[in-house]
């Protein structure tokens, strides 16, 4: 099992095109850990803002009566992918991994695969 710091470092080192990663509590909007970002990209603000995305999708699914679970949410921008992966299991309830990728360098299928692997090894 990997701790939070190790998992975030693994996101940036093993996923091609990854520029930022965070573990976020979507019940409070607080980032429990962040790595990466830049002066032009405030990872704390992005993580908090994406809690609204997760909450909205969960609320919509509830209104529709969908009994599915969200695996991940993908937001595509002109030059970036933003990947939100909801954590499964007892210890990950209410948490998501947030990953920012440069679309020109990223392989989205591999990024999703790697993020699943990192999630499985994460101990929160």
Task: Assign residue 21 the CATH number of its domain.
Answer: 3.30.450.30
Give the 3-state secondary structure of residue 99. Answer: strand
When divided into structural domains, the chain yields a total of: 1
Whether the CB-CB separation of 10 and 123 falls below 8 Å is answered with: no
b/e for 52-66, b at 16 or more Cβ within 10 A? ebbeeeeeeeeeeee
61 contact partners, CB below 8 Å, separation of at least 6:
68, 70
pLDDT tens sequence across 55-103: 999 999 999 999 999 999 999 999 999 999 999 865 668 999 999 999 9
Of the two residues 66 and 1, the one the predictor is more confident about is 66
Q: What is the CA radius of gyration of the chain?
A: 14
Reported as a pLDDT band with limits 50, 70 and 90, residue 109 is very high
Whether the CB-CB separation of 83 and 99 falls below 8 Å is answered with: yes
Q: Which two tokens stand for residue 42?
A: 């405030």
Domain span at residue 63 reads 4-121
pLDDT tens sequence across 17-45: 999 999 999 999 999 999 998 888 999 99
């Amino acid at each position: 099992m990997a701790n939070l710091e190790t998992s975030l470092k693994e996101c940036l080192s093993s996923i091609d095109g990854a520029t930022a990663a965070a573990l976020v509590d979507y019940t409070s909007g607080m980032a429990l850990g962040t790595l990466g970002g830049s002066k032009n990209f405030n990872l704390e603000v992005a993580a908090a803002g994406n809690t609204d995305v997760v909450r909205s999708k969960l609320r919509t699914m509830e209104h529709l009566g969908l009994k599915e679970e969200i695996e991940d949410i993908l937001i595509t921008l002109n030059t970036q992918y933003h990947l939100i992966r909801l954590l499964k299991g007892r210890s990950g309830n209410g948490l998501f991994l947030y990953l920012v990728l440069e679309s020109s360098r990223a392989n989205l299928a591999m990024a999703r695969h790697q993020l699943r692997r990192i999630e499985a090894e994460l101990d929160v």
